[in-house]
């Protein structure tokens, strides 16, 4: 009788914990023409040591008549304890790019924005609040003002694996990475309702096609909140963009995998010569969700959207395809020890150079954008990518882009990896000729992966091409340079 052997137990990877914070601020500013507006900012920061943190940020106009003015970038922040453990002083610097909702006498220039801040905060358990002073500056434009700012935040924990753990079985007793359960791609169309107008007062009677993406987190089965961003992809309103927060619930219809529900959203949007006033948007409507046996989920929703301070109302329908990022059991047991496979994720601060970008007036000019790129591995070869950015240098200060796609990469050889990717999405604004907003492109790249700190550093350079997909659309060669930070997350 032959001998039997037991298979070796798996070598489990476990995540490390870092301090993190989700932070919001409100900063009023006076425009050069005397108009008053205010920027609402949001940042998710992860600590790199006990004193320093950094992370992605977004700012948007939320007062006055500047709806559609957005800026996307990164914030670095240093903290010092004051008096006691309940107080701290924070000095931060935001650098990003954006624009939109231009007005006579107010100019974002090329789009590059700086916002240094100094504030004093007090902790109230995991929450904190404070007051400070901030300076908003578009160096190549004429918008610059120093004002008070109010800050509200919540301390958090960021759990992540080492990038070298990729492919190993892992265990975690909390959500890892960005702590969302699903990522979805969406496409839809909106019909303008009576009373919708352009910023010049002309009636809007056509339709607006949108493309976007969202992140969703389930607080219980059938209960969720999330964030989404979408932009114009057709209908002649290129440059329109919206960023919304969502909350919803659904219930099983005949089975637990087919679910009907409702969702409500609020956020900021504008651009594309649509009068959204201060930029605030409200949206609500029914939802339908089918959780497939293969993992992805199909969603359909209908909604009514309105800009309370502007002249924009629409009825819209949308289809979405979502992919799981976390084990679905996490919604039922937030602190259970769950298992899965570690996959690498990375975020990058990216510059994108567009050579001889075509403008609607027939001219051409080189434009350089600044933005954020996120990647998530599917396996050792294939990965998904999402990127968003805006013009920072050149003559297209309000030009913005949002792209998603897939890529493939080689194994690492002597610290260097090669790859290629294809993307589609929406772009527009700044007078750039993108024929409605739908764009697509590709890039080949080389990446150096540093061995410190803990194999997380990434420096990436690429060459590619971006093509407007509308009838008669033109293309432009691109070149990019990115600096990134990698970590591992637990996949289902």
As separate numbers, helices (DSSP H) first and strands (DSSP E) second, the chain gives: 0, 25
* CB neighbour burial string for 435-467, b if at least 16 within 10 angstroms, e if fewer: bbbbbbbbbebebebeeeeebbbbebebebebb
Domain range 16-157, CATH architecture: Beta Barrel (2.40)
The predicted model scores a pTM of: 0.93
pLDDT value, residue 377: 95
Both tokens of 98, joined, read: 């954006």
Q: Do 16-157 and 338-491 agree at the fold level?
A: yes
Closest CA to 385 of 424, 354, 428, 341: 424
Rg (CA), the chain: 23
CB burial of 222-260 (b: ≥16 within 10 Å; e: otherwise) equals bebebbbbbbbbbbbbbbbbbbbebebebeeeeeeeebe
Residue 83 has which token pair? 């008096």
CA gap 265, 271 in Å, rounded: 19
The three state secondary structure string of 140-180 is CCCCEEEEEEEEEEEEEEEEEECHHHCCCEEEECCCCCCCC
Q: Is 276 left (phi over 0), alpha (psi -120 to 50) or beta?
A: alpha
Q: Is 184 helix (H, G, I), strand (E, B) or coil?
A: strand
Tell me the CB-side half-sphere exposure of residue 53, using CA atoms within 13 A: 24
Supply the pLDDT for residue 103: 67
- Tell me how far apart the alpha carbons of residues 434 and 360 are, in angstroms, rounded to a whole number: 8
Q: How would you classify residue 48: left for phi > 0, otherwise alpha for psi between -120 and 50, otherwise beta?
A: alpha
* pLDDT reported for residue 3: 43
User: How many CB atoms lie under 10 A from the CB of residue 334?
Assistant: 13
Q: Is 246 helix (H, G, I), strand (E, B) or coil?
A: strand
- Architecture per CATH, domain 181-324, reads as Beta Barrel (2.40)
Q: Tell me the C-alpha distance between 432 and 306, whole Å.
A: 27
3-state secondary structure 247-292: EEEEEEECEEEEEEEEEEEEEEEEECCECCCCCEEEEEEEEEEEEC
Query: What is the CATH code for 338-491?
Result: 2.40.160.20
Length of the chain: 492
The span from the CA of 24 to the CA of 83, in Å, is: 24
- Break the chain into its structural domains and give their ranges: 16-157, 181-324, 338-491
Give the pLDDT of the chain (492 residues) as one tens digit per residue: 344 445 556 789 999 999 999 999 999 999 999 999 999 999 999 998 889 999 999 999 999 999 999 999 999 999 999 877 899 999 999 999 998 766 677 889 999 999 999 999 999 999 999 999 999 999 999 999 999 999 999 999 999 999 999 999 999 999 999 899 999 999 999 999 999 999 889 999 889 999 999 999 999 999 999 999 999 998 888 889 999 999 999 999 999 999 999 999 999 999 989 999 999 999 999 999 999 998 899 999 999 999 999 999 999 999 999 999 988 888 888 888 999 999 999 999 999 999 989 998 889 999 999 999 999 999 999 999 999 999 999 988 889 999 999 999 999 999 999 999 999 999 998 889 998 889 999 999 999 998 777 789 999 999 999 999 988 888 999 999 999 999 999 988
């Amino acid at each position: 009788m032959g001998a039997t052997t037991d298979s070796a137990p798996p070598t489990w990877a476990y995540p490390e914990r870092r301090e993190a914070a989700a932070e919001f601020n409100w900063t009023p500013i006076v425009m050069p023409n005397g108009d008053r507006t205010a920027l609402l900012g949001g940042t998710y920061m992860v600590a790199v040591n006990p004193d320093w943190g950094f992370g992605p940020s977004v700012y948007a106009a939320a007062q006055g008549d500047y709806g559609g003015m957005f800026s996307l970038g990164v914030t670095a922040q240093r903290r010092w304890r004051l008096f006691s453990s309940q107080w701290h002083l924070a000095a931060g610097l935001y650098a990003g790019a954006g624009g939109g909702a231009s007005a006579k006498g107010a100019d974002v220039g090329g789009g590059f924005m700086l916002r240094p801040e100094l504030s004093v905060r007090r902790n109230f358990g995991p929450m904190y609040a404070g007051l400070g002073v901030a300076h908003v500056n578009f160096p190549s434009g004429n918008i610059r003002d120093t004002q008070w700012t109010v800050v509200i935040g919540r301390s958090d924990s960021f759990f992540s694996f080492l990038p070298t753990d990729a492919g190993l079985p892992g265990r975690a007793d909390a959500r890892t990475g960005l702590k969302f359960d699903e990522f979805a791609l969406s496409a839809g169309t909106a019909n303008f309702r009576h009373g919708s107008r352009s910023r010049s007062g002309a009636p809007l009677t056509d339709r607006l096609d949108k493309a976007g993406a969202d992140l969703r987190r389930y607080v219980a089965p059938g209960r969720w909140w999330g964030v989404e961003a979408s932009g114009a992809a057709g209908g002649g309103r290129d440059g329109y963009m919206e960023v919304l927060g969502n909350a919803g619930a659904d219930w099983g219809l005949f089975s637990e995998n087919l679910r009907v529900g409702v969702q409500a959203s609020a956020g900021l949007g504008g651009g594309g010569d649509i009068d959204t006033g201060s930029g605030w948007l409200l949206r609500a409507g029914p939802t339908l969700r089918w959780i497939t046996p293969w993992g992805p989920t199909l969603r359909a929703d209908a909604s009514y959207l309105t800009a309370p301070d502007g002249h924009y109302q629409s009825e819209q329908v949308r289809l979405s395809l979502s992919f799981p990022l976390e084990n679905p059991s996490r919604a039922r047991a937030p602190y259970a020890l769950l298992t899965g496979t570690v996959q690498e994720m990375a975020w990058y601060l990216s510059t994108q150079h567009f050579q001889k970008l075509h403008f609607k007036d027939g001219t051409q000019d080189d434009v350089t954008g600044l933005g954020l790129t996120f990647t998530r591995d599917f396996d050792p070869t294939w990965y998904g990518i999402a990127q968003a950015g805006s013009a920072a240098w050149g003559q297209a200060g309000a030009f913005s882009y949002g792209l998603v796609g897939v890529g493939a990469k080689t194994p690492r050889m002597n610290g260097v990896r090669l790859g290629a990717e294809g993307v589609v999405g929406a772009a527009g604004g700044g007078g750039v000729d993108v024929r409605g907003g739908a764009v697509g492109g590709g890039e080949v790249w080389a990446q150096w992966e540093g061995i410190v700190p803990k194999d997380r550093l990434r420096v990436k350079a690429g060459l590619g091409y971006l093509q407007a997909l509308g009838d008669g659309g033109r293309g432009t060669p691109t070149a990019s340079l990115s600096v990134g930070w990698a970590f591992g997350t637990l996949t289902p």
